Amino acid sequence: MGRGQLSKAFEPQAAERNWYQYWMDNNFFHAIDGSAKPQFSIVIPPPNVTGILHMGHALNNVLQDIMIRFKRMQGYNSMWMPGTDHAGIATQNVVEQELAREGLTRHDLGREKFIERVWEWKEKYGGVITNQLKRLGCSCDWERERFTMDAGLSQAVREVFVRLYNDGLIYQGDYIVNWCPRCHTAISDLEVEFKEEAGHMWDIRYPYVDGSGEIVVATTRPETMLGDTAVAVNPDDPRYKDKIGKMVLLPLVNREIPVIADDYVTMDFGSGAVKITPSCDPADFAMAGRHNLEIIKIMDGSAVINENGGVYQGQDRFECRENVVKDLEKGGFLGTITPYTHNVGQCYRCKTTIEPAVSKQWFVKVAPLAKAATAAVIKGKTRIIPPMWEATYFEWMTNIRDWCISRQIWWGHRIPVWYCDGCGNMIVASQDPDHCPTCKGSELRQEEDVLDTWFSSALWPFSTLGWPEQTPALKTFYPTSLLITGFDILFFWVARMMMMGLYTMKEVPFRDVYLHALVRDEHGDKMSKSKGNSIDPLQMIDKFGTDAFRFTLAAFTAQGRDVRMSEERIEGYKFFVNKIWNATRFAVMNLEDYPEAEPKVSRADKSLPDRWIESRLRHTIRDVVSGFNEYRFNEATGSIYQFIWHEFCDWYLELVKPVLYGKDATTGRLAAQHTLYGILKATMKLLHPTMPYLTEEIWQTIFNDGTSIMVSPFPTEDEYVDDPRAEEEMGLIMEVITRIRAIRGEMGIAPSKKLRAIISAPEGEKEKGGTDFKSVPCIEAGAGYIVNLANLEELKIGVAMEEPKGAATGVVGNLQIFVLLEGAIDVAAEKARLEKDRAKLEKELAIVARKLANRDFLAKAAAAVVQKEEEKHKELREKHLLIEKALKKLQELAT
RNA sequence: AGGCACGUAGCUCAGGGGGAGAGCGCCAUCCUGACGCGGUGGAUGUCCAGGGUUCAAAUCCCUGCGUGCCUACCA
């Protein structure tokens, strides 16, 4: 122990390596199951195993780490559950690409071998993102790390599936789903992204079978006509009233299909008649159900036309589109072609255009689950922050549609359903069955489909804690305290965790949900590789250090606002890190003889600046604590920044330099050292959640108490005295100093030039004895600070002093400050300066005077407000008078 | 098409009924013994527009314009 020396400059790389290892070695990240301390827990939004750290991860995890470190220091048993997601399609794609380089497909390997291959890939590369999180300084409880395909979590998945099935909340059936022809799987509604595309609207004429003319329909996808099984019109449409029930002949296919009536059709769009392709459109599929229409599938899983497409069989859907249009034209069936921009659905993984398709899939009936999840938020069991997202959450929950959970891929949780070849029975079980319970046959085939990745993610808050076992961890940490995630997965993940948590655990998965915004570039554009505007977090860490980077992220996280990231900003906070480092070096230099066993210093021995900075620290602590508690990260960091730079460094250190420089062991010097030491120590703690490395480095060098700053208690307000009087006195002294400096600057006097100044107060500001604030004794007591920081050689203080000749005048409150200028004063410059001050004053005065002249204001405004305005008016008038006086004097001087 | 945000200094933004703020940038100045990654001082605003509520509006309400996002998707 003992205080060490700080190197000339902070070296982030070394500090980051050393201290992370030190924290790990000492097991500081580990929370205790069943601890008697208050609990605080967060489960990480598990990044994809295939992921590499981007700005979104960085923001998300830094905010979590800030909260975890803050709560840990506040004495909570603070647990951060880390882990990764198996990311079904994404991971399968990555491994398939790897295979493709070897000239293989997954079918060459077969299902089992392929899955082995994915596990190999996971073992090899799955730790990348985890290690990147460590570079951010994340204090995750790594002993608990989980993966969504771990045995325990997989068992949880099966268990929940079976329960839902037995409760009638999971069903299987032939429905139209979003099909990705590239991934060869169904995807959920949420996984479809709509993008505007310039296309065409083709009018097609379908002739009536009886030769009585034709009906015109319009489509953006002409190839789907091959699967048409009806034409629909609105039952109230007078144009078609007599056509309902007639048959038309489907061109190219020559199939007779009926004209049907359905309310779904809007009369004033296009011709008012719609072609119905139940196999290719969700609305048409629904209509087929209502009217018992035939469903003719015309495409295979790759969106290639099948045997039902006649001559078009074997053609890709877009190729077929061209040919169908060509042939329609040839046959004289084609009407107008209009350019038409419309939204086209794409697969969110591979951006391939979605093809709605009918297939057998598994669904979760979400309505009852959503109802409970909505109620929990209404009742306040879970808070969504910022609250504006609540509305979005409710909106979605009330319009929610059933969730398609089956995927036709190999990597994922295989659905726990078996079919008996013997009797055709279906077995839904959480354990692999070895025989059919009905026919005792042992020829069982497990369902080929796997579950949507989000199904297992939805269980994350309890599956990671050991459920279905009633583990101590589960009892200790569920429900978790807080979830921090991006609003972009509110529906994908947050809503589903709410539903599954309430269903399975009968209790919400988390108390608070903090939704942060997206990280964008400095112009507000979404970062993307293709735009080339993405900033790599690891590069930023290399360049500016983790602490500067973390502080930047927190500082720009205002609620509900996007975070605009730019290198310049991070650099700015790197300068802040440097500033802190140097202030600390200064402190260390002046604490050399400060006793290691901290001495007791009575408050009576503390100087005005000592008492002032401690009072300011108290306010800062309050702001930081409430800032973090309310997830106002920008306010917490802003208040630390302001305090350290503009109060502690700019003022306090400058004020106490003379005392510290005097090498005599006076009580005043010891008091200043005591204050300096205490402030610095508390400040490092306030800063620790955002700047873990810098603060640990400083802690270990100076405050080393045998353990880490990360487990030291967070400062509390009541450690410091609220001293409004000290703040008022210091405030006046600071204002006087600033005024003199301004005069110096505006009059072009070199800072090195020592000046003489006179401060004159009005009568009545001098008498002592009372407890009221009086400016004269205050200034007298602070004269040393003024002389020092304004660089004066002489300062006279008095009441109603005579204004000297050749002085520049400044007014602070009711004090006149005369700065004596040697030789001839630049009358023009001084006049301009005073007139500027006067103009500003007059503007303010006019506003106040107008208010006070308003009878309604006097009658209706709160008494305190009126009083404040009156005081202000008095003060402004005094000031104005003093400036007028100075101007007059100047006039005399000039003539 | 609905919904939700946002529009404040050159830039990026905070604030959110009674005196327009910060950071960066800019100008001037200082080689002061922690820091030039610094100090000191300075300039800059129809707080998007219009209307309303109020004694008082940048702040609350309405309308419009602009921007971003979310949800749905009508062939």
Nucleotide nearest to A340 (CA to C1'): B75
Residue A296 lies in a domain: yes
Q: Residue A678's closest CA among A655, A648, A650, A657?
A: A648
Token pair in block for residue A310? 């006649």
H helices of A662-774, in order, are 667-687, 692-698, 724-746
Mean pLDDT across A215-235: 91
Residues A770 and A891 in one domain: no
- Which residues lie closer than 8 Å to A211 by C-beta, 6 or more apart? none
ipTM for this prediction: 0.94
Report the distance separating Cα A99 and Cα A120, nearest Å: 13
Per-residue model confidence (pLDDT) at position A768:
64
Q: How far is the CA of A669 from the C1' of B33 (A)?
A: 18
Q: Which residues pair with A697 in a beta bridge?
A: none
Residues A861 and A802 in one domain: no
Per-residue model confidence (pLDDT) at position A522:
63
Range of the domain at A842: 827-895
DSSP assignment of A455-514 equals HHHTTHHHHTTTTTS--HHHHHH-SEEEEEEEGGGIIIIIIHHHHHHHHHHSS-SEEEEE
Residues A234 and A340 in one domain: yes
Report pLDDT digits (tens) over A462-519: 999 999 999 999 999 999 999 999 888 899 999 999 999 999 999 999 999 999 888 8
Q: How far is the CA of A568 from the C1' of B24 (A)?
A: 8
Residues A226 and A207 in one domain: yes
Interstrand relation of A355-364 and A170-180 (parallel, antiparallel or unpaired)? antiparallel
List bases, strand B, within 7 Å of protein CB. Answer: 3-6, 11-15, 18-19, 22-24, 28-35, 37-43, 54-56, 67-75
Contact criterion met (CB below 8 Å) for A366 and A402: yes
Residue A850 lies in a domain: yes
With a cut of 80, say whether residue A833 has pLDDT above it: yes
Contact criterion met (CB below 8 Å) for A251 and A331: yes
Report the distance separating Cα A748 and Cα A304, nearest Å: 82
Residues A729 and A698 in one domain: no
Q: What are phi and psi of A403, to 5 degrees?
A: -100, 115
Q: Which CATH number is A874's domain given? A: 1.10.287
Residues A727 and A702 in one domain: no
Q: Which residue is nearest to nucleotide B33 (CA to C1')?
A: A661
Residues A792 and A841 in one domain: no
DSSP assignment of A326-383 equals HHHHHHT-EEEEEEEEEEEEEETTT-PBPEEEEEEEEEE--HHHHHHHHHHHHTTSSE
Name the range with the highest mean pLDDT among A17-21, A91-95, A804-808.
A17-21
As for how many domains chain A has, the answer is: 4
* Percent of chain A with pLDDT strictly greater than 70: 97
A436: how many CB neighbours lie within 10 A of its CB? 21
Residue A285 lies in a domain: yes
Report pLDDT digits (tens) over A150-171: 999 999 999 999 999 999 999 9
Secondary structure of A136-161 as H, E, C letters: CCCCCCHHHCEECCCHHHHHHHHHHH
Report the distance separating Cα A500 and Cα A504, nearest Å: 6
Residue A520 lies in a domain: no
Place of tokens 């009358």: A827
A1 — pLDDT class (breaks 50, 70, 90): very low
Nucleotide nearest to A743 (CA to C1'): B41
With a cut of 90, say whether residue A122 has pLDDT above it: yes
With a cut of 50, say whether residue A197 has pLDDT above it: yes
First to last CA, chain A: 72
Nucleotide nearest to A642 (CA to C1'): B22
Secondary structure of A157-207 as H, E, C letters: HHHHHHHHHHCCCEEEEEEEEEEECCCCEEECHHHEEEEEEEEEEEEEEEE
Average pLDDT over all residues of chain A:
90
Q: How far is the CA of A391 from the C1' of B62 (A)?
A: 22
**Which residue did the predictor score with more confidence, A653 or A528?**
A653
Q: SS3 of A843, please?
A: helix
Q: Residue A217's closest CA among A207, A203, A227?
A: A203
> What is the Cα gyration radius of chain A?
37
Interstrand relation of A192-207 and A214-219 (parallel, antiparallel or unpaired)? antiparallel
Report the distance separating Cα A783 and Cα A796, nearest Å: 9
Residues A189 and A298 in one domain: yes
Residue A702 lies in a domain: yes
Q: How far is the CA of A841 from the C1' of B44 (A)?
A: 19
With a cut of 90, say whether residue A309 has pLDDT above it: no
Q: Which CATH number is A289's domain given? A: 3.90.740.10
Side-chain half-sphere of A322: how many Cα atoms within 13 Å?
4
**Which residue did the predictor score with more confidence, A175 or A531?**
A175
- Picking from A773, A800, A825, the residue at the C-terminal end of a domain is A825
Q: How far is the CA of A81 from the C1' of B12 (A)?
A: 35
- Picking from A324, A356, A388, the residue at the C-terminal end of a domain is A356
- Picking from A680, A708, A736, the residue at the C-terminal end of a domain is A708
Q: Which CATH number is A772's domain given? A: 3.30.2320.20
Q: How far is the CA of A523 from the C1' of B65 (A)?
A: 22
Q: Which residue is nearest to nucleotide B56 (CA to C1')?
A: A857
A272 — pLDDT class (breaks 50, 70, 90): confident
Residues A785 and A874 in one domain: no
Residue A440 lies in a domain: no
